[in-house]
Chain A
Amino acid sequence: MASVLDHQRRRLQACFAEHGVGADDQSRITLFVQSLKAINSGVLARLEFQPLDWAPWKFLHTQYFRELEMSTLLSRATSWSTNPLVYMEAGTLNLGLWSRTRAWDYMQAPLEPDARFYRYLAMSHALLSVVRLIPLLPPSLPLDTPFLQALHDVEEENGRQIQLQIRLLKQLELGLSRKEREALVEEERDKVEACYLELLESLCPEQATG
């Protein structure tokens, strides 16, 4: 998977260096990122109805609102495409994301410190860290458009928000061995990576075979 992702990153760097990031690709990226944020904030929204007597509550609460903020920021900064095919393809990608991650599993019942919650943490860690878009841009391309600046802001905020996932994945005691926890984390990561790869393949379609 790593080499396939690497190949796609190189292809996109070359494409964006030549053509910049046009409205079609901006729309595809934003729709995908908004879908990630919808999954995470959809799970976190449940906490707004739960009692405050759990130490991580305030961090989960903060992440909920930050996810909404980043989603709307990116939406406002996007030059939206007028091509209906872009939205149809994005819908298919997003459906794959929801079904692969089984996001609805985490939205059925209150969140508690259990194995299901640990799996949610692994999935949301992957959502915040696997899907990186700034590395797709050539380093010499200035981040001086509203869209690129917003993408940069989303990634920086992801780095701050993921602290919650990092702490809990490392410290939450659920009786799982290190190997079991590593396996579970990798499993969720593989799902998100597969969806991310599909997004990359959909960008710069005229050079998709490059």
Chain B
Amino acid sequence: MPAFEFDGHELYYELHGREGDPVLTIINGLSMRTSHWGPYFQLLPQAGVRVLTYDMLGQGASSKPVLGASFADHAAGLHALHAHLGIERPYVFGISFGGVVALRYAVDYPDALAGLIPVSTFSELDAQLRGHATNLYVGLVRVGFGFYLDLLMPLNFSNAWIAEHQELIQLIRRVGVSTNELYGIQNLMESMAGFESMTEELAGITAPTLILNGEFDWLTPRHLHDILRRGIVNSRLVLVPRVCHAFTLEIPQLTSRLIADFIHQVEGSGWAGDQTVWVSAEDPQADALLERCPGDHLRAIPLPAERPKRRKSRSAASSTRVKAPPVRS
């Protein structure tokens, strides 16, 4: 079991693929473990990408500091792990909570990454996300870890996937309860209490950035990813159809293709970070995987994009005013 010691704590990690290939570092979301990325350990090396994944402090097989750790601690630990392994310019992928760590890493260590892939994540907490976080937290500490996982399941997975994987979901729940320490996950959640918006800092991220957002991610919805798109100048936003918050577990083939294509574009100087919005095909084997998003990408109702509003002159406005219908007595 490879482990790296940092600041008195152990970070457990796994490295898969060929030396010399570009490295993708995967940062887990809350209550995830390295084993959640099993399919990626095959798929990405086959596509010419080496995979480094690790358990952040507080979960999985890594140390769980009783007094907790900050986002900056997580980013510093990852930076030290990269240095320890001699990885100078990785592509840093982070999902959900791990996405925030990835953003922190990109801001704090701008020269220590070749690309950034924030997934199902956010740079600021709005009222809805704060509400979800509070509910999950209260469920964790007042009811228990099993209930916390129960709350996450319908947010993480699509209806179709849940219907097909009832037994697996029970197993995931049991393994989740057994392999996590409540206080470790609680500490990670409590580090959100003092979370300050990173949106202003996004302008400092210059690395090529692929932002991935599931179509039906109601935990971290579209507008939070759009904040990232608008804030990171060298970015593109890709919408992944019919999936929810934890889509990486549900569709590893498609996600691997999106990641590998992005990395090869950057490596081959074919990347254009123009802050545009794209929709992925559902078939991971599709010839053309991405097409430009038609319509207004911020709406759930598929309306055409709003035209820029023109200021009307006072006379024009008054001539188009609709008359009120006569009142019937």
Contacts and interface: CB of A to CB of B under 8 A. Distances in A.
B41 interface: no
Contacts of A156: 144-146
B186 A160 contact: no
Contacts of A115: none
Nearest to B186: A166
B181 interface: yes
Most buried by A among B1, B67, B182: B182
Contacts of B179: 135
B66 A159 contact: no
Contact of B141 (A125, A129, A160): A160
Interface stretch (A16-24, A60-68, A97-105, A177-185): A177-185
27 contacts: A2-B61, A6-B61, A122-B66, A125-B66, A125-B183, A129-B181, A129-B182, A134-B178, A135-B178, A135-B179, A139-B171, A139-B175, A140-B171, A156-B144, A156-B145, A156-B146, A159-B145, A159-B182, A160-B142, A160-B144, A162-B183, A169-B66, A181-B67, A182-B8, A182-B65, A185-B66, A189-B66
Contacts of B124: none
* Highest count of chain B CB atoms <10 Å: which of A139, A162, A170, A182: A139
B284 interface: no
Interface string B136-157: 0000011111100000000000
A166 B137 CA distance: 14
A82 interface: no
B215 interface: no
Interface in B219-275: none
A163 interface: yes
Interface of B: 1, 8, 10, 61, 65-68, 141-146, 171, 174-175, 177-179, 181-183, 186-187
Contacts of B66: 122, 125, 166, 169, 182, 185-186, 189
Contacts of B177: 134
Contacts of A181: 67
Nearest to A166: B183
A44 B245 CA distance: 43
B169 to A, nearest CB: 12
Residue from B144, B145, B179, B186 with most neighbouring chain A CB atoms (10 Å)? B144
Interface in A17-64: none
Contacts of A122: 66
The 3 closest A-B pairs by CB, nearest first: A135-B178, A159-B182, A156-B144
B281 to A, nearest CB: 36
Interface in A145-193: 156, 159-160, 162-163, 166, 169-170, 178, 181-182, 185-186, 189
A166 B183 CA distance: 8
A185 B67 contact: yes
A149 to B, nearest CB: 13
A120 to B, nearest CB: 14
A108 interface: no
Contacts of B178: 132, 134-135, 137, 139
A159 B171 contact: no
Given A156-B146, A163-B141, A169 B67 contact: yes
A209 interface: no
A144 to B, nearest CB: 13
A6 B175 CA distance: 15
B166 to A, nearest CB: 15
A181 B8 CA distance: 14
Nearest to A9: B178
A178 B69 CA distance: 11
A3 interface: yes
A67 to B, nearest CB: 17
B109 to A, nearest CB: 23
Q: Which of A125, A160, A185 neighbours the largest number of chain B CB atoms within 10 Å of its CB?
A: A160
A162 B1 CA distance: 30
Contacts of A166: 66, 183, 186-187
B35 to A, nearest CB: 13
A183 to B, nearest CB: 9
Contacts of B10: 2
B182 A162 contact: yes
Contacts of B187: 166
A21 to B, nearest CB: 15
Given A2-B10, A129-B181, A135-B178, A178 B1 contact: no
B68 A170 contact: yes
A200 to B, nearest CB: 15
A156 B142 CA distance: 10
B139 to A, nearest CB: 11
Contacts of B67: 169-170, 178, 181-182, 185
A156 B148 CA distance: 12
A159 B1 contact: no
A2 B63 CA distance: 9
A181 B174 CA distance: 33
